[in-house]
Amino acid sequence: GRAFQLPHADRWVVYVTDPQLVKEISTIPPNRLSLLEASNDMLQAPYTGIHQEQQIIDIIKYRLVRSWTSIVPTVYEEAAEALSQYIPSTTGALLINYLLCLLICRRSPEWTAVPAFATVSDVTSRIAARMFVGLPKAHDMEYTRLSAEWAHGVINAGVVLNMFPKILRPLVCWIHNPPAHTLKLVFKNIASLIEERKSLLATKDLEKSDRHNDLLSWLIQGDTANAMDPLLITRKLLSVNFATIHTLSSVGTHVLYYLAAHPEYVEPLRAEITSALGQGHGIKHALDHMYTLESFLKESLRFNFIVSMLRKAIQPITLSDGSHLPIGTLLMVSPLPVHMSSELYEDAEVFDGFRFHKAESQSPNQMAIPSLDYFPFGYGSLACPGRLIAVSLLKVLLTHILLGYDIKLQGDTRPADKWIGTLCFPNDLAKIFFRKRVKQ
């Protein structure tokens, strides 16, 4: 149960798995053990351009989450449009899809092979754009493509840069730094919109207009200390985009693979979704009452969320187990040993999509409530501020896929995950077969 160290390319990192230590870490204030400093360090903020600060966390907590009920219908609509755009019509499928269907699926060419990770990423980028900048920018394909490109590029650049000593990182970035180049392109794309919103704010029209009640406007309103610097606002916007696109692309693809690998869950999930939507109480109410779907999502994350809390020691810290963290130490919390504990979960190594539906009372959003038995979103006051929204977005995505499509694996087994050190990513090359369902 003690903390332990594992070597990374450039340093030793302290790992914690014991629930009591997790609880202890969650109570240590940010001026001693910082999430923001750790994140900027791991993602190499000076080179990638990512910008994370308390203002962004506060906006997510106090503006985005509180506005979520009014935002959900728009997001639900956007997800349907995006899926129809990025999953090609099976009518008139390309020859390559025709042959793949015949050879692999042994089904009619109504089935279309779709790259799972890229498709979920594209759809997520569209949804994020609709939430954060609104229309018409959300339908600007260059903007959504660049946003996703930057989000995934930050992860890759962070991994690469952390392999080199600090003294060599400027040279590495001078030779090859895709996120910095993409940041310039995004700024060029969105600069005029930022100036337009700034002008509206100056005339007080922005605060009266529900049309612009989105993240971009909130960032501009809260950036007076920096004279509403357009480049800084772009970096902040992209940083929230990063958290949304990277997390939902990875988790959404994991879930999609589990769904395709376990077709026995499809009909029960469809039945629950249809029933919830048919109650006529609105999209938010329906999503909150999809308990079986939430159980399936929760079980998927139980298997695949390897690191859930990241911190950097700002002051020397000694934990209750005697572990000493000098200044600059990176600390990560891994929930996997707890999530795979046979003492907590019966048949812990077996995927059971109904596990949490059977074990928990039927109250909304149990997945977003951290506990010491289940903490993919962290624990305590510094748990992921957008976790409720993340769960809702996953439900939106799966609702449209389940009601709109039949799905099938390309092979016989779930695509193998990809590991980079202690980080687990879904297979980004595997394809899923989709077939448009005929509405009854």
Lowest mean pLDDT among 29-38, 99-108, 125-134, 237-246: 99-108
Q: What average pLDDT is seen over the chain?
A: 87
Q: Name the token pair of 439.
A: 């509405």
Q: Name the token pair of 231.
A: 């480049």
Which pLDDT value is given to residue 359? 59
Which pLDDT value is given to residue 92? 45
Which pLDDT value is given to residue 209? 55
- Secondary structure of residue 297 in the 3-state scheme: helix
The arithmetic mean of pLDDT across residues 405-421, rounded, is 87
Q: How confident is the model at residue 104 (pLDDT cuts 50, 70, 90)?
A: low
Which pLDDT value is given to residue 363? 64
pLDDT tens per residue, range 294-344: 999 999 999 887 777 899 999 999 999 999 999 999 999 988 889 999 999
Domain ranges within the chain, ordered by starting residue: 19-28+53-92+108-310+333-436
Q: Name the token pair of 114.
A: 């779709």
Distance CA 414, CA 307 (A): 22
Which pLDDT value is given to residue 213? 79
Lowest mean pLDDT among 164-168, 223-227, 425-429: 223-227
Which pLDDT value is given to residue 2? 83
Encoded amino acid at 137, one letter: K
Q: Does the model's pTM come out above 0.75?
A: yes
pLDDT tens per residue, range 261-276: 999 999 999 999 999 9
Q: What sign has the CA pseudo-torsion 69, 74, 77, 80?
A: negative
Give the distance, in angstroms, between the CA of residue 147 and the centroid of all CA atoms in the same chain. Answer: 14
Distance CA 182, CA 48 (A): 10
pLDDT tens per residue, range 330-367: 999 988 889 999 999 999 999 999 998 875 556 666 78
Q: Is 424 annotated as a binding residue?
A: no
Burial of 34 (0-12, 13-18, 19+ CB in 10 A): buried
Distance CA 353, CA 333 (A): 25
CATH of 19-28+53-92+108-310+333-436, one of 1.10.287.470, 3.30.910.20, 1.10.630.10, 3.40.50.2020: 1.10.630.10
Which pairs count as long-range contacts for 375-379, CB under 8 Å and 24+ apart, including other chains? 375/22, 375/308, 375/309, 375/333, 375/335, 375/338, 376/301, 376/302, 376/305, 376/308, 376/335, 376/339, 377/308, 378/26, 378/308, 378/309, 378/333, 379/22, 379/23, 379/26, 379/308, 379/309, 379/333
